[in-house]
């Protein structure tokens, strides 16, 4: 479990954030765990290597290593986005060198030097916030089916059977440039943030996630319980969770 304290200036006032986090990951129903997590020094991230491409476990770890190294040189909100873009370049360079195609999702939360707590996101790994017992999704999936749903071009019922339901529209490492969603988070003491891979949110119902986050105060124990619950329900994918307490 990792604790991080930082005071930042935002809109003329001082914001003090104490973030305490824990993380867990499991291969689930896959032979190899292609998920990776990072927790520490005010940066919390999760990456899920793209299935069907080469070396997803290499892509996810490489992306988080590059993210962490680059963010350490510029801890601003723009620096977080730049770090995601550097992660993209790092994975692409490795893929080009090995003459393969590899990619990964990426979701990260950081305490920045200029904008408080900020999130960055590419792909379909998600960020949720639990506040007053209610779980809200803070990211939008970058997938074909999510875009069709947002456009009203397909129904929720049809989405589960759509042939392109697992196809990403954005990922780290598949092209020279990547669009990174940036979110300045509204955080207050008592909030809990959850970063998770699709193996978790596709296996557990929203109510199950709310129950664990609402009943287990220790972030490491909460992350462990969420992953274990998904594995027990026979998740057919890798399962990872990073739980962050805002204190």
Q: What is the pLDDT of residue 64?
A: 98
Q: Is the pLDDT of residue 11 over 60?
A: no
**3-state SS, residue 196:** strand
Q: What is the pLDDT of residues 122-178, one digit of tens each?
A: 999 999 999 999 999 999 999 877 677 666 666 666 556 666 667 899 999 999 999
Structure tokens at 171: 């990922």
- Can you give the pTM of this predicted structure? 0.90
Domain boundary assignment for the chain: 2-10+21-130+170-246
Q: How far, in Å, CA of 63 to CA of 244, rounded? A: 21
How many other CB atoms are there within 10 angstroms of residue 104's CB atom?
A: 34
Give the position of tokens 């780290």. 172
For the beta sheet containing 134-137, the strands, ordered from the edge strand earlier in sequence to the opposite edge, are: 2-10, 13-26, 239-246, 192-196, 126-131, 134-137
Instruction: Judge whether 96 and 177 are in contact, CB under 8 Å.
Output: no
Q: What is the pLDDT of residue 12?
A: 37
Q: What is the mean pLDDT of the chain?
A: 90
Instruction: Judge whether 126 and 143 are in contact, CB under 8 Å.
Output: no
Instruction: Judge whether 175 and 92 are in contact, CB under 8 Å.
Output: yes
Higher-scoring residue by pLDDT: 3, 243: 243
CATH class of 2-10+21-130+170-246: alpha beta
Q: What is the pLDDT of residues 56-81, one digit of tens each?
A: 999 999 999 999 999 999 999 999 99
How many other CB atoms are there within 10 angstroms of residue 157's CB atom?
A: 7
What φ, ψ does residue 176 adopt, rounded to 5°? -65, -25
Write 144-148 long-range contacts (CB < 8 A, 24+).
144/168, 144/169
């Amino acid at each position: 479990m990792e604790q991080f304290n930082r005071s930042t200036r935002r809109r003329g006032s001082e914001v003090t954030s104490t973030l305490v986090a824990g993380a867990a990951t499991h291969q689930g129903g896959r032979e190899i765990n292609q998920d990776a997590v990072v927790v520490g020094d005010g940066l919390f991230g999760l990456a899920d290597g793209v299935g069907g491409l080469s070396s997803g476990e290499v892509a996810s770890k490489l992306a988080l290593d590059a993210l962490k190294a680059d963010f350490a040189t510029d801890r601003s909100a723009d620096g977080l986005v730049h770090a995601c873009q550097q992660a993209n370049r790092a994975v692409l360079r490795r893929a080009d060198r090995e003459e393969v195609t590899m990619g990964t999702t990426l979701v990260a939360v950081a305490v920045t030097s200029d904008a408080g707590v900020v999130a960055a996101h590419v792909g379909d790994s998600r960020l949720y916030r639990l506040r007053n017992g209610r779980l809200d999704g803070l990211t939008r999936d970058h997938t074909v089916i999510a875009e069709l749903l947002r456009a009203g071009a397909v129904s929720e019922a049809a989405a589960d059977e759509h042939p392109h339901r697992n196809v990403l529209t954005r990922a780290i490492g598949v092209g020279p440039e990547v669009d990174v969603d940036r979110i300045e988070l509204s955080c207050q003491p008592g909030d809990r943030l959850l970063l998770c891979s699709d193996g978790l949110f596709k296996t557990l119902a929203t109510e199950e996630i709310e129950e664990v986050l609402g009943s287990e105060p220790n972030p490491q124990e909460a992350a462990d319980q969420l992953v274990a619950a998904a594995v027990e329900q026979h998740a057919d994918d890798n399962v990872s969770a990073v739980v962050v307490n805002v204190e």
